[in-house]
Structure 1
Amino acid sequence: MSAEQKRQLEQQLWNIANSLRGKMDADDFRDYILGFIFYKYLSEKMELYANQLLAEDGTTYVKLNEQSEEGRAFLEAIKEESIQKLGFFLKPFELFKEIVRRGQTKSEEEGESNFILGDLANILNHIEQSTMGTDSEEDFNRLFEDIDLTSSKLGRTESAKNALIVKVLEHLNVIDFQLENIEADVLGDAYEYLIGQFASGAGKKAGEFYTPQQVSKILAKLVTTGKTKLKSVYDPTCGSGSLLLRVAKEVKEVSNFYGQELNRTTYNLARMNMILHDVHYRKFDIRQDDTLEHPQHLDKRFEAIVANPPFSAQWSANPLHISDDRFSQYGRLAPGSKADFAFVQHMVHHLAENGTMAVVIAHGVLFRGGAEGHIREHLIADKNYLDAVIGLPANIFYGTSIPTAILVFKKCRENPNDILFIDASTHYEKGKNQNTLRDSDIGKIVQTYRERLVEEKYSYRATLEEVKASEYNLNIPRYVDTFAEEEDIDLQQIAEQLKALNTNIASSDATIAAFCQQLNIATPF
């Protein structure tokens, strides 16, 4: 599929979402449209796989007679293979195109579309139930819970709700997802596009589930520097999973994906996103819970860690945490009103000896004192884990206009005697509502980091002694001098210009006064 065809698919899906949403809140409709796209994907994946299994028998999945003994035998065999290979199972009559066909059929009595909401709810429930007791159960458990087909948001009457859902499914049904084209992750990319579009209109809530692709790209390139394969990648605040998937685009292979997400709806979105990108259910482990209070992967260490945690979030800062292996060696906990360093400590704990982590933080993390200053000093002076500090432009994140920075940590640093500071805060394209990092801006950041380049007014390698002399304050202007001297002003020249202006004004006034006298009117001065 060409880039233009891919763009058209993305636009088609977004147009469907916009045209059918009506007066429903964008956040609510997002759950429906993304959920139905996912259901269509599972259906086509199921049918494609079943047809491959049935090819030698000269039949197709939808032609199986589920009432015959032979048909039931085929279904049992296909179910067993499907659960093992795909992680789920759908019967022929449960396929997306079949429910659409039933919805398009008009009832003889009313002349309206057949009522399919009950069947649709059962099908989505059956998909989840098909995984019970299997290795994929956790990945599909309650996956469709946000698709409430009884909600009044869909319409005032059952008929109105049914009509809307039938219309949505009809529009999606005509789009070819091209699942046979295994080289092109067409649908996965289109899904990412939709998530991004919903995020751009979600205001402050967008930060809960989506990191702008431009920032994701930087983080992904930083943690994959020098590597073509990764054993594992982890995001402790994974949102929709977009950042994890972005890392996979930078290397040939990622063996395993790990993540944790607090918000239940966003957690469901992350699992769908993984499956839609054809990540096998055995290769990802996404958990739902509070990362700081109830970490789910404590026994694991990861080769790459990326995160965009909520800025200055609150957490319990419970004194019991001081005995937690993640925090115990620091002697201080991050303040309850600002969990930024708690997330950093959590990530450092999970970082493998040969790993790299990159985390987005608000600027206050760079210089605030108290417990945060103590933790910062420990990470630099005692552990020497901090590899780089990268300042980003303001207003590039959804829901906040504050400038941010990226901290890069390594436990085994190739350059243990200095810390690289990059000030990329003025390198961006200004937008009406939001600023954008261009490819050239991203490339400059990544190249500067990888080659540890020093450039006047852009980057600087500060020795550990310099950082110590600044009392471990990481405020970027302390190290990258961006001061621009103003041009000298020739006061004599300015005085002569003013004198000439006054002469011109006096001449003009005299001309105007002469005209006024001729017209026998008062002068305006």
Structure 2
Amino acid sequence: MPAKPFSSIAAPMAKTSRKDASANIADVLAMMRHSFSTSDSVRHMLALVVLRWLADSRRSGFDLPFPLDLPPDLLYHVPLMQADDLPDWLDRMLRELELCNADELGGVFQHLNFRSPRFMFSQQDRGILGKAIDLLWMKDRHGCSWALLLAALETARKALVANSGAPELNTPDSIAALVAALGRPDSGDWVYDPACGTGQLLAQASQCVAREERRHWCLSADERNPTAWMLAKLSVLSQGLSSRNIRRADVLRADYFTEHDDVEGLYDVVISHFPWSRKGWRHEDAPPDPHHRFRAGLPPKNNADFAYLLHMAFALRPAAGRMVAVVSTGVLSRTGTEGRIRMRLLARNLVDGVIALPDKMFQCTSAAAAILLLRTDRAPRQDVVFVDARGMAASAKGANVLSAEAVQEIAGIYSKRAPVDGRAALVSPDRIADNGHSLNVALYVVQAVEGESHDLHEVRARRHELREQLKNLNARIDELLAPHPHGPAAAGLEQA
């Protein structure tokens, strides 16, 4: 008996919108999460979307953002006609895709198994897998592959954060755009992210480089979460970037440099939204780091913020290296070991700027954040730029968002290095030292009060005037209270 095709194979070829694509992806992910963990559901869903995207590119003849070699049997119509051997075909296509593109996709689809009984697939009952194929393949057989891929990446990021509570796995687009605008990567720069999450900062940074030059851009990254690493690889490939140097690795592990090349002084631009307040990143009695990344001080074992920051500073090129990190506000002012590390970074003349961000910008947390900027080409004892961007966001769907205009304004204020009333200040290293080496923006940028004059000379003159009035008033009070030479009665008579 011939294999029975899927019932919807004759569906009309209507164009699918981004909204419809997102709904299809959400439905597929929801089905899979009944049988799999969130991470496994995300990885299997992404694998199906990638296969559809690549098969559609071969059938429709559109160019991929980054060239990949496709298995000969990766044909668009095959999943629509398969019966009981569909799981085997899917697994085989993923293995062959990795083998054909070992540098770009090696290990990305490892450990996926579409033959798992959890998919409940059979010739009689297509189960979760058959329904997923219906949703991903059949809504529109022309032109929606790109929309599906974008929707899959976005939905996957949100699902990971909702499951783990880790906002760094879904950096808001406006924050990623701001990091790129501040780092200003050029086509000749070497760019590095030591904890790239799902790759959003790297993908956004690529927008600074002409598309035809991206394939030759030197891009490196590390990420320890296997599912986030998969998303990062796919995200940068979708932007026309090579993913070969996006490694699955934990830069804070003691054995990192035994498995990977030294990164000291290699990179022109280092960017990251690393995990905040990561606990247990080192052992209590950890041996000294042989590469001396922590020469400014060994960060506490239950908070890795400064471990990431020192690794990033370690990777900066000695001449004109630029670092942009999305940090929690605690990094700016905590004392103890972290305060001493901050003092030494200032003493080494690396801290170039701090930008306070609005609150309610990140998924699963309302906490405010900041951007810390380091440079290796600062002039001796150059002032530090402080920018208060807390009031520059607009509200959208219960969260704060920076508009494209706000992103450019913030980046412009930083690059111009000029004070702006109520918005930005240039602060000397001595003044920062007087404040206990705190980098809290509120200490240095005074918010303007509406209707008040901000002319310092005018304020001083008004204060002098008020002091004179108070002096005269006190003199009059003393005169009234002084004993009268002719007694109280005479004083009352004279007053009358």
Matched AA of 1:229:
S
Deviation at 1:173, TM superposition (A): 6.0
Deviation digits for residues 386-439 of structure 1 (CA, Å, limit 9, x no counterpart): 110000011101122111000011100268510000111122123453222222
Letter of the 2:143 counterpart: D
Counterpart among 436, 446, 452 of residue 481 in structure 1? 446
One-letter code of the match for 1:248? S
Distance across 2 between alignment mates of 1:44 and 1:310: 36
Q: Which runs of at least 4 in structure 1 moved beyond 6 Å after TM superposition? A: none
Q: 1:11 maps to what in 2?
A: 19
Greater mean alpha carbon deviation, residues 211-220 or residues 464-473: 464-473
Q: Could you report, residue by residue, the CA deviation over 1:114-144 in whole angstroms, capped at 9, with x for unpaired residues?
A: 641222222212222x33xxxx524322322
Deviation of 1:378 (Å): 0.7
Give the drift of 1:230. Answer: 3.4
1:237 aligns with 2:195: yes
2:490 corresponding residue in structure 1: none
Q: 1:291 to 1:393 in 2, by over 3 A?
A: same
CA contact (8 A) 1:366 1:473 kept: yes
- After the TM superposition, which residues 415-434 of structure 1 pair with which residues of structure 2 at under 5 Å, given as runs? 416-434=381-399
Q: Is the 8 A contact 1:424 1:458 kept in 2?
A: yes
Higher relative contact order (CA 8 A, sep 6+): 2
**Paired position in structure 1 for 2:128:** 161
SS of 2:352 mapped into structure 1: strand
Aligned to 2:468: none
Distance 1:310 1:470, change over 3 A: same
CA distance in 1, matches of 2:156, 2:102: 28
| Pair 1:402–1:234, CA change in 2 (3 A) | same
1:39 aligns with 2:20: no
Matches within 5 A, 1:162-241: 162-171=129-138, 174-176=141-143, 187=146, 191-200=149-158, 202-203=161-162, 204-205=164-165, 207-224=167-184, 228-241=186-199
C-alpha change, 1:214 and 1:347, in structure 2 (3 Å) is same
Q: Does 1:298 align with 2:258?
A: no
Higher helix share: 1
Worse overlay, 448-457 or 14-23: 14-23
What amino acid is aligned across from residue 385 of structure 1 in structure 2? Answer: L
The percentage of aligned residue pairs carrying the same residue is 22
| Structure 2 runs not aligned, ≥5 long | 1-14, 453-496
Q: Deviations over 1:23-52 (max 9, x none)?
A: 443655433332222123333455688x99
**SS of alignment partner, residue 221 of structure 2:** strand
Deviations 1:84-128 (A, max 9, x none): x9453411x332x1323423xxxxxxxxx5641222222212222
Match of 1:397 in 2: 362
Alignment CA distance shift 1:98-1:231 (3 Å): same
Query: Partner of 1:65 in structure 2?
Result: none
State the TM-score, normalized to the length of structure 1.
0.72
How much does 1:320 deviate? 4.4
User: Match for 1:271 among 233, 239, 245?
Assistant: 233
Q: Aligned residue for 1:246?
A: 204
Counterpart amino acid of 1:465?
D
TM-score (norm 2): 0.76
* Deviations, residues 39-89 of structure 1 (Å, cap 9, x unaligned): 23333455688x99xxxxxxxxxxxxxxxxxxxxxxxxxxxxx9xx94534
Number of residue pairs the alignment of both structures matches: 418
Q: Pairwise mapping of residues 50-449 of structure 1 onto structure 2 (< 5 A)?
A: 86=67, 88-91=69-72, 93-95=73-75, 97-103=76-82, 115-128=85-98, 130-131=99-100, 136-145=101-110, 147-151=112-116, 154-155=119-120, 159-171=126-138, 174-176=141-143, 187=146, 191-200=149-158, 202-203=161-162, 204-205=164-165, 207-224=167-184, 228-252=186-210, 253-254=213-214, 255-280=217-242, 284-293=244-253, 294=256, 296-299=260-263, 301-314=266-279, 315-316=281-282, 319-320=285-286, 322-330=288-296, 332-352=297-317, 353-381=319-347, 383-413=348-378, 416-449=381-414
Instruction: Check conservation: 2:328, 2:369, Cα contact below 8 A.
Output: yes
State the distance in 2 between where 1:456 and 1:155 align: 64
* Secondary structure class of the residue paired with 1:122: helix
Q: CA deviation at 1:385?
A: 0.7
